[in-house]
Chains A and B, each alone.
Chain A
């Protein structure tokens, strides 16, 4: 394949240039800071885009037109305006809360999602955290989030938040199993945990095509479990508005609430991003073996466009699900996981192992 947009060359040139004028540790520090700023900026910008998208998509499902006033006809500036508003809101701490844990919780939640966010393969050479157990790191880092949710619910000293937190804890811990197993299914097929190699391995066709039936099943299981992991409808019972007002973050205000809100949307993005990475080829363009002309044309589209395009497609799918179904009850959610989803995931894992052993994958 031809790679016109590899960032590797650019980054090494920058690194070499920096090393030429200063000691290497200074150069590394500067690079880290720059990358950190880029991550945070990207994080915020993508969250704004997703919130806008959610509003518009949900409106369309509900026969409405959504934001339409602020910033011209499309309401483009609605979300930035809301962000501005939430930034200048008072961060109110109710009496009787456990102050330390109460203030810590939103940061834990946002930390978990920034960690996982940095593992996404944006482009060839655009992978920020590169390690040989990348996908494992993603699973581990995303588990920190539930800690924040539990702490938020516990420290708020309210019955509603406590119930929301307990629900959320029970649910997320259960669904991590399905996520883990479905990711493992793909790891078995690809033979690597390294995110870069996972993507590179899909140059001759995305995993979902290469792994055919078991891969498609694993993809569906991953989407359902990932949706639950991101606390989104129909699994949003941790913050079930109609039952628990706002669940675990009822007592939060201002930017503390904003962190939860942001993390929720970014978890959605991360879920979709990871799905894109391991099933839909990450930044890898669509390649059909044998059609060289077609493949060459596809290579002209930059990797980041592919990545974002596929991710947003998955996000749309998840939004479509969210805005269609009623919410499940806590026992039904656990039934779904333990009686249907996890057994299915295990069956798919065995099936995939078998296919891989027999060489039935492409």
Chain B
């Protein structure tokens, strides 16, 4: 008899658990949905935190001058060879020789956003921005020149 009792109890317990499950799913059915409708929400609910790392940039002041001194520390520290600096020696007015930045190439496609370049920069010449819509159709377009004027 005990096995029949067990059988019936198992039956009832099972049915009860199934109904609980259905109750829970119906509760969520009636709740507000959480879908984020990108890109429609670009100007409404989309929130990209300021610290989000999406793109390396070289900020310039109003006259278009950047702070890069072409020391090459970022290039040396990059684990992936993402940054490529082209420099040349120029003579300043005082007659000293000084390394000047010609071209600062940054390959977004191979960047792993580890922050080593920004951390090591002695003059805060580069920084990451949260501008994340960087999809392009060709690989070449991922190579950006940061010191463009």
Measured CB to CB, the residues of A under 8 A from B are 59-65, 68, 320-321, 323-325, 340
Known: A68-B37, A325-B18. Contact between A61 and B11, CB under 8 A? Answer: no
Q: Which of B21, B28, B31, B34 contacts A325 (CB 8 A)?
A: B21
A64 & B35 in contact (Cβ 8 Å cutoff): yes
A320 & B11 in contact (Cβ 8 Å cutoff): no
A320 & B22 in contact (Cβ 8 Å cutoff): yes
Tell me if B123 counts as interface (CB < 8 A to partner A).
no
Could you say which residues of chain B place their CB within 8 Å of the CB of A321? 22
A65 & B18 in contact (Cβ 8 Å cutoff): no
Tell me if B25 counts as interface (CB < 8 A to partner A).
yes
Q: Which of B11, B18, B28, B37 contacts A63 (CB 8 A)?
A: B28
Could you say which residues of chain A place their CB within 8 Å of the CB of B35? 63-65, 68
Chain A proximity of B3: nearest CB distance (Å): 12
Q: Which of A61, A68, A325, A340 contacts B29 (CB 8 A)?
A: A61
Measured CB to CB, the residues of B under 8 A from A are 11, 18, 21-22, 24-26, 28-29, 31, 33-35, 37
Per the bound structure, the CA–CA distance linking A321 and B11 in Å amounts to 18
Chain A proximity of B44: nearest CB distance (Å): 15
B25 & A323 in contact (Cβ 8 Å cutoff): yes
Of B18, B21, B25, B31, the most chain A CB neighbours within 10 A belong to B25
Q: Describe A's contact surface by its main secondary structure.
A: loop
Could you say which residues of chain B place their CB within 8 Å of the CB of A68? 35, 37
Given contacts A64-B34, A323-B25, A325-B21, 8 further A-B contacts (CB under 8 A): A60-B29, A60-B33, A62-B28, A63-B34, A68-B35, A320-B25, A325-B18, A340-B11
Of A61, A64, A65, A324, the most chain B CB neighbours within 10 A belong to A324
Leading 4 A-B pairs by shortest Cβ distance: A324-B25, A65-B35, A63-B34, A65-B33
A324 & B33 in contact (Cβ 8 Å cutoff): no
B31 & A320 in contact (Cβ 8 Å cutoff): no
Q: List 6 A-B contacts (CB under 8 A).
A: A60-B29, A63-B34, A64-B34, A320-B25, A320-B29, A325-B18
B22 & A324 in contact (Cβ 8 Å cutoff): yes
Chain A proximity of B114: nearest CB distance (Å): 34
Chain A proximity of B70: nearest CB distance (Å): 48
Could you say which residues of chain A place their CB within 8 Å of the CB of B33? 59-60, 63-65
Could you say which residues of chain B place their CB within 8 Å of the CB of A59? 33
Nearest-neighbor residue (CB-CB) of B24 within chain A: A324
A61 & B28 in contact (Cβ 8 Å cutoff): yes
Could you say which residues of chain A place their CB within 8 Å of the CB of B25? 61, 320, 323-324
Could you say which residues of chain A place their CB within 8 Å of the CB of B24? 324
Chain B proximity of A337: nearest CB distance (Å): 14
Per the bound structure, the CA–CA distance linking A218 and B34 in Å amounts to 39
Nearest-neighbor residue (CB-CB) of A62 within chain B: B28
Nearest-neighbor residue (CB-CB) of B25 within chain A: A324
Per the bound structure, the CA–CA distance linking A62 and B26 in Å amounts to 10
Nearest-neighbor residue (CB-CB) of A325 within chain B: B21
Per the bound structure, the CA–CA distance linking A320 and B30 in Å amounts to 13
Per the bound structure, the CA–CA distance linking A323 and B22 in Å amounts to 9
Chain A proximity of B125: nearest CB distance (Å): 42
Nearest-neighbor residue (CB-CB) of B34 within chain A: A63
Per the bound structure, the CA–CA distance linking A63 and B30 in Å amounts to 9
Per the bound structure, the CA–CA distance linking A64 and B37 in Å amounts to 10
Could you say which residues of chain B place their CB within 8 Å of the CB of A62? 28
Chain B proximity of A36: nearest CB distance (Å): 39
Per the bound structure, the CA–CA distance linking A325 and B37 in Å amounts to 28
Per the bound structure, the CA–CA distance linking A63 and B25 in Å amounts to 10
Per the bound structure, the CA–CA distance linking A64 and B33 in Å amounts to 5
Could you say which residues of chain A place their CB within 8 Å of the CB of B21? 324-325
Chain A proximity of B4: nearest CB distance (Å): 12
Nearest-neighbor residue (CB-CB) of B22 within chain A: A324
Per the bound structure, the CA–CA distance linking A324 and B37 in Å amounts to 25
Per the bound structure, the CA–CA distance linking A327 and B12 in Å amounts to 20
Per the bound structure, the CA–CA distance linking A340 and B31 in Å amounts to 35
Per the bound structure, the CA–CA distance linking A321 and B19 in Å amounts to 10
Chain A proximity of B11: nearest CB distance (Å): 7
Could you say which residues of chain B place their CB within 8 Å of the CB of A324? 21-22, 24-25
Of B18, B22, B29, the most chain A CB neighbours within 10 A belong to B29
Per the bound structure, the CA–CA distance linking A137 and B41 in Å amounts to 54
Of A59, A62, A64, the most chain B CB neighbours within 10 A belong to A62
B31 & A63 in contact (Cβ 8 Å cutoff): yes
Chain B proximity of A63: nearest CB distance (Å): 5
Could you say which residues of chain A place their CB within 8 Å of the CB of B26? 320
Per the bound structure, the CA–CA distance linking A134 and B35 in Å amounts to 46
Nearest-neighbor residue (CB-CB) of B20 within chain A: A324
Of A63, A65, A320, A323, the most chain B CB neighbours within 10 A belong to A63
